[in-house]
Amino acid sequence: MTTAIMTGTWTAICAFDRLQPERGVAALVDGVQIAVFRTFDGELFAIGNRDPIAGAQVMSRGIVGTRGDTPTVASPLHKQVYDLRTGECLDVAGVAVPTYPVRRNGDLVEVGVDTP
């Protein structure tokens, strides 16, 4: 297993309390749509908002859940399920959404953005 090291900057998305558990929000960060999720246990995840199968920017409206111990989100269009930790589609081999570093910084939720 490799560890990703972010060399970019952090962008504030919203206050942590504004993220409802098991719901997503979409944010535009440096021209990229990102879906941010908070689970019931307070864990944060950030993935690309574009559904790679349908091509629509809808992942933030997906259905949050789990498969075993894996936190997931199902596309609201065709219901393919994605691992929130890795972005890998659990239903279609070779399909994935990008993932982004996300953190709680005091009362704010921030997403990591790579800088050129």
Q: What is the CATH number of the domain that holds 46?
A: 2.102.10.10
Mean pLDDT for 48-72 is 97
Q: Is residue 20 part of a domain?
A: yes
Q: Is residue 116 part of a domain?
A: no
- In this predicted structure, the answer to whether residue 113 has a pLDDT above a threshold of 90 is no
Domain range for 60 is 16-111
Tally of domains within the chain: 1
Q: Is residue 55 part of a domain?
A: yes
Work out the pLDDT band at 21, boundaries 50, 70, 90.
very high
Q: Is residue 73 part of a domain?
A: yes
Q: Is residue 10 part of a domain?
A: no
Rounded Cα distance, 49 and 69, in Å:
23
Q: Is residue 11 part of a domain?
A: no
Q: Is residue 8 part of a domain?
A: no
Rounded Cα distance, 74 and 105, in Å:
27
